[in-house]
Structure 1
Amino acid sequence: MKRIPESLIQDIRNKTDIVDFISRYLPLNRKGKNYWGVCPFHDDNDPSMSVSQDKQIYKCFVCNHGGNVFQFVQDYEKINFIDAVIKVGESINLDLSEYQGSTPEVDPKLAQYYTIMEEAQSFLQYQLRSEQGKEALNLLYERGYNDDILEHFGVGVALTSVSLSKFLLAKSYTSDDLVDVNLSRWMDEDLRDVFFDRLMFPIHNKHGKIVAYSGRAIARESTIKYINTSNTPIYVKGEVVYNSHRAKNPARHQQSIIVCEGVTDVFAFTIAGHDNVVSLLGVAGTDQQIQEVSQLNKSVILAFDGDGAGQAATFAIGKKFKRMHCEVHIWYNDSGLDPDDLLREHGQSAISDGLENKIAWLDYVMYYAIGTYGLNSFENKKKVAEFVLEELKHEDHLAQDYYMNLIADKTNLDVSILSGMLHNKQQKQERKISVVQTHKQRRISATIPEQTLLKQMLGSKEAAYRYRDALGFFIDDSAQNLGLLILDAYRIESQIQAADLLSKSMDEEVRDLLFHIEASTIPSDFDQKVFDENIRIIKRRLDNMGMDQLKQDSINQFDIGNKAEILVKAILKKREGENK
């Protein structure tokens, strides 16, 4: 594997906004200078993780997890540093394929399952074009799907209750494997197909591999309209977003992603010329699905069914996307029809008009609140106000002012009272965060003079070189290691940040010290007088510990191996002094 140059790693980090990147994984809310979110690295209920846009680092004040954007990806995705750099690089559209390691080995069993699903797909598509599949094909034509759409989405048909199982067994796959991927099941000691007399819509994972099926009944009188693949070793319901592998590039080019409920709703938008569309395969919207969609694009248009369940899902899922810092709009649809039926009854223009006239999130919140509670009594008006204010507390002042006046107009409640209610909600949120900020941190062993020098060294190359020439050695182990990291960084760069150092390997104690110094109120600007005074303080302590000569030998030694040997002697001598 080709090594990624240090300069490229640095460039990727500099071009990546850590707040924007972490927002792809979890919701962040701005409080003061920093952003706060629920820490994903421990059982966290209140926001305890702070993300600094200025310093480009994150830190949990409970479990002490922290680092730069690469460290976050490593810990969250459970991948190595190089893969994390590549993943972050891809987010800013850099092609780092030349640095990609060899393709990781795939579990042979999983590879077998994927192959079975591909074989099944070929058979189901073949059946649709066979003589026996004509009824199903005509039904699809009647619903407005042409051959291009059927081919694009890989639509097939499952006919009799044994045809797919027999085909796959003849290809030498075992019955156990067919049951494992939920294509077959045992019934009265006979192997039967899970799907039969159904139109078959393949479901792919984000890498484009077929992992499941959604089967729609061909017979109109069927009491079960859809059945879907159960959880298998390659498919877990709630972890897959339908059509995400196809929508990835269109979402980037069209700068938005349309999210709907069902498979055929995706067909409807695609037919109308909007291929930046995915489905959640229902209205649950798990955290994993929300995260995957938000990584496709941060501008989300929700297009669920127009019935009551669809309206409730729009609000619930919209809130999840808002917590992921997405810009949320609602596809305008006053017909009460789902996208698939709307396309057939009113044509492609109805789909496109709904996108053109999309509704802003807070306008929808107002509409939904009034539709839910009504305005026919004081109590209901109060509920409407509370409902909307809860969503307003995370918005900017301009949006708050506009919608508070709108609420006042709709409910006849006094706007000053509404303002007070909103202020109380915000104060409660801020009190939660202030409790997190005062959480007791891990003990730092470096002395204040050492911390002061290190803070100035982080902010000034001149300070770092003056330390090297005048002292070159810290008493505390973690301070010493951090000092060496800073000096090493200045060999390449004229300016550095803590986030730069966090890309390097370091002990937990050094990492904690770095975070502590960054969060401290110690000035980072180089001050000659303060700097010299702290050098003198550390020198006096070194003299008292009988280490001055060893320290001086280290400064004067140019051979790296000899320098390291002398430093080891100094450290041992220091520890002897501490144990007396």
Structure 2
Amino acid sequence: MARISEQIIEQIRSTADIIEVVSGYVQLKKRGRNYFGLCPFHGEKTASFSVSPERQIYKCFGCSVGGGVINFIMEIEGMEFVNAVKHLADQYSIELQIDETAGKSKDLITQLFDIHAQTAHTFLKNLGTEEGSKVLAHLESRGLTRDTIKKFKLGYSLKQKDALLSAFRTEGVRSDAMKQSGLFIDTKSGYMDRFRGRIMFSISNSAGKIAAFAGRVFESDDPAKYINSPETPIYNKSKILYGLHETKQIIRNSKSVIVVEGYLDFLQLYQSGIHNIVAVSGTAFTDQHALQIKRFCEKVHLAYDGDSAGKAAAIRAGYVLLRAGLSPLIVNIPDGLDPDDWVKRDGNTPFLEAVENSTKLLTFHFQNYKGDISTTSGKTAFVNDVLMEIVQIKDPVSRELQGRELSELVGVSAESIFQSLHNMLEKLKRRQNFQQNNKSPKPKTEDKKQLLENDLIRLCFAEDIAIRKFLFDEVKTEWLMTVLSQKIYEKVYIHLHSSNAPEASLIMDELKNETYRNKLAELVFDLEKLTPSLKSAEDCVRRLEQNWLNIHIQSIREELKNAESSGNDPLPLMK
């Protein structure tokens, strides 16, 4: 497994300013000592995501995520620790010296990315073969230039059942990495290539690394028009948007994005000069896709196919965006056309005009509703369908605005709309309360223990070295009753006798468990509001020891009681 020296990691941690890094994904505004923005990890309208330049950590008070600069890249880019360090090293031009250790190979994630990069190169090179020349001609006939084909790494998978498999075996690629790559399938006659005789599209993550492929049928009667990579350790189709690695900066600058359905739609529009664009890669639009977009802009134009299926998909995607706190608009594509065909036929001007004149989600839904909205029952059904979507919006202001828009759209009083919405919310709340009441509540004693142990963790970060040395000398780990506190304290303990207070971001990098890391971020984020003293530390330690003694005494009493009731001699327990 790849190893990076602690000195290099520390250099990256001290060089990569968390405000600068996070600002590449979130629009931050300074408020007091800290910076705030909309959380990139969950949908919200009010900024609860805070970044501390002093402590070099982030914390969301809405969804509880937290960590240091390396943790942020791991979370936002879906990377393992080593790859997140590499990412930051590239960003800040820090030279890495990676020790692969003699006799040991690269870690699995690195191997998988290497395999996909090499596979994309092979598929592109296959376009130069006699078999692939037809595919190249076909792509060019669809209006794609060779520069576009090369830039986005399109290609061709040969019809031979084991062309890719044989190449990797010859090169000695590890079999476990090949199995987990998703590029090969297990059959009765052995392993073979997943993609055979297909036009290939390389799918990159937002960092620009190829994580998967999509294969389109070519000159075949195979009913499966597209075959996609399965989910792997480096690919989650619900989180990746096609082309985002190339367009994210343009999207941020333009403050809007155009979302299309297909790879060819994306490529045709990009080639025509429209660059604030992404495509969903072979899946329905998800909450995770919405959060990916929210990192860069709030206005989203959905440019799906002009048929009934495309319109229905655009409406569904619109409500997903609405729940995430984004502003969805739907582009009116001519019936029977998709963006690819339209731009290829008429150029990008009519398309851009359609984008400029996009329709609001509720209006588009109303105009394309399948029921008969000219009747009372049809209009009622439409209102109820929309309310079922609006009720899922967490932000009350956004809910009210959508309710008022619905009222004006259908000609029903706002009072009636809000009464129906209120009834739905109350029903939802009762259901949630019922589910909550049927959960086993945590005993209050455990809450009290945790609160006391929280105080101990905070005291560990005191600037006064006398406090930290006292804790180092006096606290015993067995006094901590919760696993969460034990795990955090184990990482902080070794830093207590240092001349400087422990760095929160350093401890967070060492905490591999997300729950522990988030808890630590919560505890230390506002330390400047506390005034720790040696007396408070002594009181905390005394109470921790007393709690432990009480529990220990109670345990002995229970054992004595059990021994007496079973007729055993209790004397050995009392020694």
Q: Taking structure 2 as the reference length, what is the TM-score of the superposition?
A: 0.62
CA contact (8 A) 1:302 1:330 kept: yes
Q: Which residue matches 1:440?
A: 442
Question: 2:412 aligns to what SS in structure 1?
Answer: coil
Spell out, residue by residue over 1:452-496, the C-alpha distance to the aligned partner (whole angstroms, 9 max, x if none).
96599599868x967978998468833899697699499657xx9
Higher RCO (CA < 8 A, seq sep 6+): 2
Q: Distance in 2 between matches of 1:332 and 1:527?
A: 61
CA contact (8 A) 1:182 1:229 kept: no
Q: Which residue matches 1:271?
A: 271
Question: 1:342 aligns to what SS in structure 2?
Answer: helix
TM-fit CA distance, 1:140:
4.9
Residue 313 (structure 2) pairs with residue 309 (structure 1): no
Q: Which residue matches 1:417?
A: 416
Q: Which residue matches 2:379?
A: 381
Spell out, residue by residue over 1:353-392, the C-alpha distance to the aligned partner (whole angstroms, 9 max, x if none).
2332334445445545xx2334223332222222333333
Q: Distance in 2 between matches of 1:467 and 1:183?
A: 55
Q: Which residue matches 2:571?
A: none
Question: 2:127 aligns to what SS in structure 1?
Answer: helix
| Change beyond 3 A, Cα 1:172–1:8 | closer
| Change beyond 3 A, Cα 1:404–1:102 | same
Q: Which residue matches 1:119?
A: 122
Spell out, residue by residue over 1:18-63, the C-alpha distance to the aligned partner (whole angstroms, 9 max, x if none).
99999545x44579x979xxxxxxxxxxxxxxxxxx9925799xxx
Question: 1:265 aligns to what SS in structure 2?
Answer: helix
Residue 10 (structure 2) pairs with residue 4 (structure 1): yes
Aligned partner letter, 1:411: V
TM-fit CA distance, 1:145:
3.6
Q: Distance in 2 between matches of 1:269 and 1:297?
A: 19
Question: 1:372 aligns to what SS in structure 2?
Answer: coil
Question: 1:56 aligns to what SS in structure 2?
Answer: strand
Spell out, residue by residue over 1:203-233, the C-alpha distance to the aligned partner (whole angstroms, 9 max, x if none).
23334448545335469xx796944366598
TM-fit CA distance, 1:352:
1.6
| Change beyond 3 A, Cα 1:82–1:267 | closer
Q: 1:477 aligns with which of 460, 476, 479?
A: 479
CA contact (8 A) 1:28 1:323 kept: yes
Spell out, residue by residue over 1:54-105, the C-alpha distance to the aligned partner (whole angstroms, 9 max, x if none).
9925799xxxx97646668769999766766777x69xx9637546855881
CA contact (8 A) 2:371 2:382 kept: yes
Q: Distance in 1 between matches of 2:185 and 2:474?
A: 70
CA contact (8 A) 2:123 2:154 kept: no
| Change beyond 3 A, Cα 1:76–1:257 | closer
Question: 1:202 aligns to what SS in structure 2?
Answer: strand
Q: Distance in 1 between matches of 2:530 and 2:467?
A: 14
Question: 2:258 aligns to what SS in structure 1?
Answer: strand
| Change beyond 3 A, Cα 1:399–1:320 | closer
Q: Distance in 2 between matches of 1:486 and 1:328?
A: 51
Question: 1:352 aligns to what SS in structure 2?
Answer: helix
Residue 349 (structure 2) pairs with residue 349 (structure 1): yes
Q: Which residue matches 2:31?
A: none
Q: Distance in 1 between matches of 2:432 and 2:445?
A: 22
TM-fit CA distance, 1:298:
6.0
Aligned partner letter, 1:424: N
Q: Taking structure 1 as the reference length, what is the TM-score of the superposition?
A: 0.61
CA contact (8 A) 2:45 2:325 kept: no
TM-fit CA distance, 1:509:
12
| Change beyond 3 A, Cα 1:364–1:98 | farther
Q: Distance in 2 between matches of 1:112 and 1:186?
A: 21
Question: 1:301 aligns to what SS in structure 2?
Answer: strand
Q: Distance in 2 between matches of 1:502 and 1:57?
A: 15
| Change beyond 3 A, Cα 1:456–1:420 | same
Q: Distance in 1 between matches of 2:509 and 2:11?
A: 13
TM-fit CA distance, 1:309:
0.9
Alignment of 1:220-369 (within 5 A): 226-228=225-227, 231=230, 238=237, 241-285=241-285, 300-367=300-367
CA contact (8 A) 1:24 1:291 kept: yes
Q: Distance in 1 between matches of 2:83 and 2:236?
A: 27
Aligned partner letter, 2:106: E
Q: Which moved more, 1:437-446 or 1:314-323?
A: 437-446
Spell out, residue by residue over 1:389-446, the C-alpha distance to the aligned partner (whole angstroms, 9 max, x if none).
3333426555444443333334333321211222333445556666759942695497
Aligned partner letter, 1:214: G
Q: Distance in 1 between matches of 2:107 and 2:542?
A: 58
Q: Which residue matches 1:552?
A: none
CA contact (8 A) 2:165 2:193 kept: no
Q: Which moved more, 1:308-317 or 1:3-12?
A: 3-12
TM-fit CA distance, 1:184:
11
Q: Which residue matches 2:92?
A: 95
Q: Distance in 2 between matches of 1:333 and 1:379?
A: 29
TM-fit CA distance, 1:273:
0.7
TM-fit CA distance, 1:144:
3.5
| Change beyond 3 A, Cα 1:106–1:119 | farther
CA contact (8 A) 2:132 2:156 kept: no
Spell out, residue by residue over 1:327-356, the C-alpha distance to the aligned partner (whole angstroms, 9 max, x if none).
433334354521012113332102222332
CA contact (8 A) 2:36 2:48 kept: no
CA contact (8 A) 2:298 2:326 kept: yes
| Change beyond 3 A, Cα 1:224–1:474 | closer
Q: Which moved more, 1:316-325 or 1:482-491?
A: 482-491
TM-fit CA distance, 1:187:
13
Question: 2:382 aligns to what SS in structure 1?
Answer: helix
Residue 404 (structure 2) pairs with residue 405 (structure 1): yes
| Change beyond 3 A, Cα 1:290–1:443 | same
Question: 2:349 aligns to what SS in structure 1?
Answer: helix
Alignment of 1:51-200 (within 5 A): 56=59, 68=67, 95=92, 97-98=94-95, 101=98, 105=106, 115=118, 117-127=120-130, 133=134, 140=139, 142-154=141-153, 200=199
Q: Distance in 1 between matches of 2:153 and 2:514?
A: 51
Aligned partner letter, 1:440: K
Q: Distance in 2 between matches of 1:433 and 1:156?
A: 50
TM-fit CA distance, 1:313:
1.3
| Change beyond 3 A, Cα 1:293–1:515 | closer
Question: 1:305 aligns to what SS in structure 2?
Answer: coil
Q: Which residue matches 1:215?
A: 216
CA contact (8 A) 1:459 1:524 kept: no
